[in-house]
Structures are given as structure tokens and as C-alpha cells.
Structure 1
Amino acid sequence: MDFQPTVQQDLLRKAVRQFAEDEIAPLVNEMEITDNTPTDLVRKMGEQGFMGVTIPVEYGGTGMGHLARMIMVEEVGRISAGIAMALQVMQMGAGMVIDLGSLAQKAEYSPLLAQGKILIAPAITESSGGSDLEGLSTRAVDEGDYYSLTGRKVFITNSHISELAVIVAKNEGGAKRDFSAFLIKNGTEGFRRGRVERKIGFHGCITGELIMENCRIPKENLFGEKGRGLAIALEGINNYGRMGMVGIALGLMQASLEASVKFAQERVLYGKPISNLAPIQFKIAEIYADLEASRFLAYNAAWLIDHKKKSDTQVSSAKFFSTEAALQCTRKAMDIYGAYGCMKDYPLERYCRDAQLLVPADGTNDIMRVIAGRNLAMKK
């Protein structure tokens, strides 16, 4: 078993880290104040191929795969969890199109999505259904020449900066699990943006509502086969959404480890750096152990997805373990800083706020335990 990163993976990590430090870090304080997603930054990430990491070269992407995506999200998350969240959802939408869209949809949208020339927002969650996808209330009516959609999607990442959305809706008059997915362009009659949410973290990543009121969708904008909406949603969430949250968790833990070591070596108490104190060393060791354990879970799950192997148990386990580890690690880092950790002059309070948002996103951690536990307990 070879744990050594490839040359390509090492080069990717260095390149993304440099980009994040040069282009994202200077914008963090402004994003904390405005909570706006910098459009120039998004354009630059598109030009650098960030959105097309899982899109094949023939469709304008780099085709590097899911393990490379994990490294990319991790390095961006080390600097800004908000931008990492925005990025990973852009990648999720672009990946869903290349993995699940029709040949015509791939030809039309994938080259533009890979280069960040248009952005896409997967829109699944509703107030009536998040973890319970069967509870979604958005309705799709087949009107013969077109579909008519009515409903409201909530907590949608990149809702107000995307030109395209993937909407999952219940087929009117269908069976309990009869859902379909649709592509909707901005400007479509009956389709509009709603409120913008105010979150405790992930500043720089806009989150809001998408509203459909008798929205007319051309038949060619059916996304995937009719009736496979839930399967499409779950595949996108498993392969991209949950793995993206894991990547952000890794970035936050790496940032917390680096900040803790630096502060402990510089902060002097009792005539010597606090890095000499055993309780501080314990916390740093625990942060490191949680980070490395989470990395192994994450990279293994990404490898499985790259090799088209069943991965829902591994993805679910990586999601609940790493996101809860991030909560613990950011808190331990704040404890190392003492009162300084509570000051906005230092990044620790931001790390703690951002880590909290990892837990409910793309399936709560209780649901992750249900998936993994059920798969393992019922395995034959």
C-alpha cells in the first residue's frame, strides 16, 4: 500500500496553496464584513481550472478526478472555508452535468462550467425536505410541450451568483418516490431568486432561496431520466457534496494545527514558550491525530469514487468523523490561544464558526451514521 502522493498531486497542492495565499487570503477580512462572494476571484478560479477538476479534458476540464478535488478544496479551505464551500458546490453542479446529463447538455454546458464562464447551483433542499428527500414539495407538471414547476428551494449555495440551477421536483400525480430533475436558466419565466440568508460562518459564500412560480421548463431541460430525480440528487450529494464538506473540514483542521503550533512557539508564559507545556502539547497532538485520521478516511473515499466503486459507507463515515473532528480541533486551537482566540484579530473564532456549519450540510451527521451503520449492520 503506497501512501506517497503522486508528483501531480504534490504539484497541484503547491499550486492551489499558492493561489489561495496570494488571491484569497487578502480578501478574507472584507468577506467577513460584507459576506459577498468576490466575482473577480470566482473568474480567476475558473481560469485556473478549479471548476473543471472532475470534467474530462475533451469537455474543457482537467480530468484530474475526485482525489485531486479533495486536495484542492482542502487547500482553499485552509485559507477560507467560505470560498471553499462556494467552490465545492460549483464543482458539484459541474460534475453532476458531466456525470448525469444528456449528451446535448454536456456539449452545451460542460465546457463553460469547466472554465467558470457560467456557474451552476444544485438546488435540492426545501423547508419540507432536506435529509428527508421524499418530503420535497416542489411540483413538476407535464404540460405536454413543457414542464411547469412550482416550489421554493432554501439554503441554496451560490443561489444569487449562478446562471444555471439543477432543480429536483416531485412529478405531479406520480408515486411516492417519483421525482425528476431539471436544468433551469436564469431569466426563465417564473424563476427568481428569493431571500439571502445570514449565516454565522462561511462568509464569502452566498446562500439563499430559489423560487419557481409556474416556471415553464422546455422538455430538453429534463436532467437525466424522468423519475430518477432522487437517484440523481443522492449521487451528486454523495460523490460531491459530502466529500466537499470533508475537504473543508481538512482545511480548517490544517489551519488550526498551523496556527496552534505558531502561537504556542511565540507565546511566552512562566519564562518560556507555552509549546513547552504538556497540556498544550496534548492539544496539538490531538489536533494532528484527528487531522491525519480524517485525511485517510477522506482520501480513501475519494479513491473509491475515482475508481467507480461503491462508496456511500466510506463517504458517510468520512463526513461525520471529519466534520466533528473539525469542531473539536478548532475549539482546541482556540483554547491554546486563550483570550486571544476570542478576538477577531485572530482567525480562531472564524474557524470555530465555520466548522459549525459543516455538520448539517449535505446530510446531517446523524443521517451519516444511519447510512454507514445500516450498510454495515445489514451487510451479508
Structure 2
Amino acid sequence: MWTSCSAAAPSSRTERRPRTSTIDGGHVFELAPEEQAIVDVVAEFVDEQVRPVVRDLEHADTYPEALIGQMKRLGVYGLLVPEEHGGSDVSAPCFALVTEQLARGWMSLAGAMGGHSVVAFLLREFGTDEQRRRYLPAMATGELRATMALTEPGGGSDLQAMRTRARADGDSYVIDGVKTWISNARRAGLIALLCKTDPTADPPHKGVSVLLVEEGHEVSKDLPKLGYKGVESCEVVFDAVRVPRSGVLGGAEGAGFAQMMRGLEVGRIQVAARALGVGQAAFDDALAYAQQRESFGVPIWRHQSISNYLADMATSLRAARLLTLDAADRLQSGRRADMEAGMAKLFASETAMKVAMDALRIHGGYGYSTEFDVERYFRDAPLMIVGEGTNEIQRNVIARQLIARDRGSDAG
């Protein structure tokens, strides 16, 4: 575990902000030494413990209990938890780079801590003192794992059209509704639920709250998936589930939509970083294969068509990493980062999909074989295009912020 690293970290989050540096050896931001050590530890974990076993686990669609256990011991689940509650409280760029390393080994591992980290951020930024004390220490160790529930079967990315309701009843709320595509739903002991506490509010987002749900809900089914194996994605039913009034994030109704939109800035940076990890793994495999495989008497990288693929793949990944770290740095500064996070998620996910496809092309027939990892990258990459708000939605977010900022407002 990197306890010594986090213990040595300065107390001020601003002091730990990474410094931009000359691009060299793939590093586009220079992390503080203690944060770089965390990234290095996770990279070593991926190389030594994840990559040797991931193919068998993924093909069997087996929950990676041993790997998750090691992630807990390393401190991965406490990356965004304040030190006073037992976490590491790393910078947003460090969090992104750790996520990339996990996804480089297996995208599902990054997914296993993604929603949990968003909930930790929400509690850190908006939770009451009691909510922080109640949840964050156990979340830091992974003893308590959290997830968020936004998407509904008929709503998709249109969150304001949600039908899940929480009706006030004495000192409780009574929740009715259905959420879908909820990752880690069977293993989460805490759900940050986005729902309507005032369906008559005008505008509608003023009637939305985040409720912290610990029990009473039912996981009705697991959803079969093309990729993202090992970690469950579920439909969750809330049928007259009671939550105490103290379960409203921040203690006051009506702030949930704004709270979750801020949380989704973290989520979209995390998804962009996942895409980077998948894309980097695909590129690494393609680069190695292009040097080993020969045709017409030379390694295939010497053929211009293959070398062009490699050059474009590396260039796109470098650009995607810059966008992702730029968005993370803006989030770290406390500024609104929805446009930057949307740009990073959009570009990184599209890059991962193209890099995976080009890696498959470079491998030829072997790229289509389940004996090589390339086919897994090709199945995992699309999730980042449609997850955490589809890329079509990201373009809408980007366009609205372009207009708002052109008019001198960050309000959008």
C-alpha cells in the first residue's frame, strides 16, 4: 500500500497540482513525486498481477475477486477520499493516470472503482459532516463500495425526464422507480440515487435530489454485454424503499441535479482515462507485434501502410492524454470543467475505438482470435463511446458551453 506516499503529501490540494512540462517519454504532466509513485505502483500491479490472468478471467466473465482485493489493499478505492477520512486525496490528474493504468490491464478493473470514486467525490464536495463521517472511512478501504444510479430504461441520457420519485413521508422518503446499467450493483453497499423529490418543480432540475440508499432495493437482473466482462451491470428496482431524510446528499432537497453534473465531470474524466488505457494497451500490443511479425522478408512495421497506422495511433493517444489531463487539471483548480471533460471523453473514446480497430488490422487474422488480447480491446472500447453520456450528448454539452463562454458566462 502507498500509505507512506499519501502521508508525505502536502496538506493543501493546490500545492499538489501537477505542473505542465515538456512532453517527454509519454509524460505530458509532471506529477508530484508521491503521486507519481502511486501511478508507478498501480502500473507494476497491472504488469505483474493483472495481465497474466486477465484473458482467462475475461473470457469466463468471472468477477475478479482477488484483483479487487489487491486494489483495496493498494488504496485504489480511497484515491478521492480526504486524508482525514483515511484516503489518499490525490489530484485529479493523478486519479486519471491511475485509472488509465488499471484500464491498460483490464478496463473492467477501472470500471469497478469508477462510480465508487464519483460517489466519494460527491460526498467530499457536497456531503454533510455526518455523511462524510458515516461513509468515507469505509469507502477509503473498499470495505464499503459505492455506485451511482442515474440511467433509466426509457430515459438514457435525458436525466431530467427521469421517472424515479422519492415522496416525503414523515421523517423518511419513499422511493419508487427503476434504474438500469448500474455497475457493481450487486456489491455496492451504498447507492447515490438521482431522483425527483419535487415532480412539480419549475424548472424540473430544481426538483431533483441525490439520495444515499443503503438497503431495500432489489437487483432484478444482470444485463448481458459485448465487453466489460467480470463486473456486473444491473437493473435495480426501488419499490417503496424508505430512506431517512438525513439521506439527502448535502442535507437539502433540490440540489441533486447540479451536484450530479459536477460529479459527472469526474466520471467523464474517468471514462476518458479508461479509454486511454484500452487504447494504450491496443497500441502497445500492435507495436510489439509489428516488430515481431514478418512478411515479404521484413518486419511488417517497415511496410508503409502499417507504419502509418502506428504513427496515427500514437499521435491520437498523445492528443487524447493531453485533453484528459487538461480537463483533470481544470477540475482540480475548482473551475467548471464540463466542456473540457466532455471533449476529453469524446476524443479519447473515439480514439480508443479506432486504435483498437487498427490494432486488429495490424494483427491480421490473429487480431480476430480469442487467443490474443486485441479482440477484447475491440469489445471493450465501445462502452466509453456510449457510457457516462453518449458522445452525441457530449457534443451538445460542448456546444452549449462554447456559446455560454463566448457570451462571457460559465452558466451554460
Does 1:2 pair with 2:30?
Answer: no
1:322 Cα deviation after fit: 0.8
Does 1:306 pair with 2:335?
Answer: no
Q: Cα deviation per residue 1:155-206 (whole Å; 9 max; x = unaligned)? A: 00111111111111112553122111111113x3xx2111001110111221
254, 276, 281: which is aligned to 1:227?
A: 254
**Residues 242, 316 of structure 1: 8 Å contact kept:** yes
**Residues 202, 354 of structure 1: 8 Å contact kept:** yes
1:40 Cα deviation after fit: 3.0
The secondary structure found in structure 1 opposite 2:179 is: strand
Gaps of 5+ in 2: 1-19, 23-28, 408-412
> What is the 5 A alignment of 1:213-252?
213-224=239-250, 225-238=252-265, 240-252=266-278
> What is the 5 A alignment of 1:189-200?
191-200=217-226
Which stretch shows the higher mean deviation, 20-29 or 113-122? 20-29
**Residues 118, 163 of structure 1: 8 Å contact kept:** yes
> What is the 5 A alignment of 1:1-380?
2-3=21-22, 4-6=29-31, 7-175=33-201, 176-177=204-205, 178-186=207-215, 188=216, 191-224=217-250, 225-238=252-265, 240-378=266-404, 379-380=406-407
Q: Cα deviation per residue 1:244-268 (whole Å; 9 max; x = unaligned)? A: 1101111111111211111011001
1:293 Cα deviation after fit: 0.2
Q: Cα deviation per residue 1:266-306 (whole Å; 9 max; x = unaligned)? A: 00111111111111110000000000000100001101111
Query: Counterpart of 1:53 in structure 2: which amino acid?
Result: L
**Residues 178, 236 of structure 2: 8 Å contact kept:** yes
The CA distance in 2 between the partners of 1:374 and 1:169, in whole Å, is: 24
The CA distance in 2 between the partners of 1:348 and 1:54, in whole Å, is: 31
2:5 — aligned with what?
A: none
Q: Cα deviation per residue 1:76-135 (whole Å; 9 max; x = unaligned)? A: 111101111112222122222222211101011101101101100111110132311111
Aligned length: 376
**Residues 105, 277 of structure 2: 8 Å contact kept:** yes
Query: Counterpart of 1:42 in structure 2: which amino acid?
Result: I
Query: Counterpart of 1:84 in structure 2: which amino acid?
Result: A
Report the TM-score when normalising by structure 1.
0.96
Query: Counterpart of 1:287 in structure 2: which amino acid?
Result: M
The CA distance in 1 between the partners of 2:60 and 2:302, in whole Å, is: 40
The CA distance in 2 between the partners of 1:173 and 1:58, in whole Å, is: 38
Which stretch shows the higher mean deviation, 287-296 or 45-54? 45-54
The secondary structure found in structure 2 opposite 1:2 is: strand
- Cα gap change, 1:43/1:96 in structure 2, threshold over 3 Å: closer, same or farther? farther
Which stretch shows the higher mean deviation, 359-368 or 2-11? 2-11
**Residues 55, 373 of structure 2: 8 Å contact kept:** no
The CA distance in 2 between the partners of 1:85 and 1:157, in whole Å, is: 8
Query: Counterpart of 1:234 in structure 2: which amino acid?
Result: M
The CA distance in 1 between the partners of 2:101 and 2:180, in whole Å, is: 28
- Identical aligned residues as a percent: 28
CA RMSD of aligned residues (A): 1.4
The CA distance in 2 between the partners of 1:254 and 1:8, in whole Å, is: 24
1:147 Cα deviation after fit: 0.6
1:36 Cα deviation after fit: 3.4
The CA distance in 2 between the partners of 1:15 and 1:118, in whole Å, is: 23
The CA distance in 1 between the partners of 2:239 and 2:62, in whole Å, is: 27
Which stretch shows the higher mean deviation, 246-255 or 34-43? 34-43
**Residues 252, 351 of structure 1: 8 Å contact kept:** yes
1:53 Cα deviation after fit: 1.1
Gaps of 5+ in 1: none
Report the TM-score when normalising by structure 2.
0.88
**Residues 96, 236 of structure 1: 8 Å contact kept:** yes
**Residues 66, 303 of structure 1: 8 Å contact kept:** yes
2:6 — aligned with what?
A: none
Query: Counterpart of 1:179 in structure 2: which amino acid?
Result: V
The secondary structure found in structure 2 opposite 1:21 is: helix
**Residues 37, 83 of structure 1: 8 Å contact kept:** no
The CA distance in 1 between the partners of 2:381 and 2:247, in whole Å, is: 36
The secondary structure found in structure 1 opposite 2:312 is: helix
1:29 Cα deviation after fit: 2.4
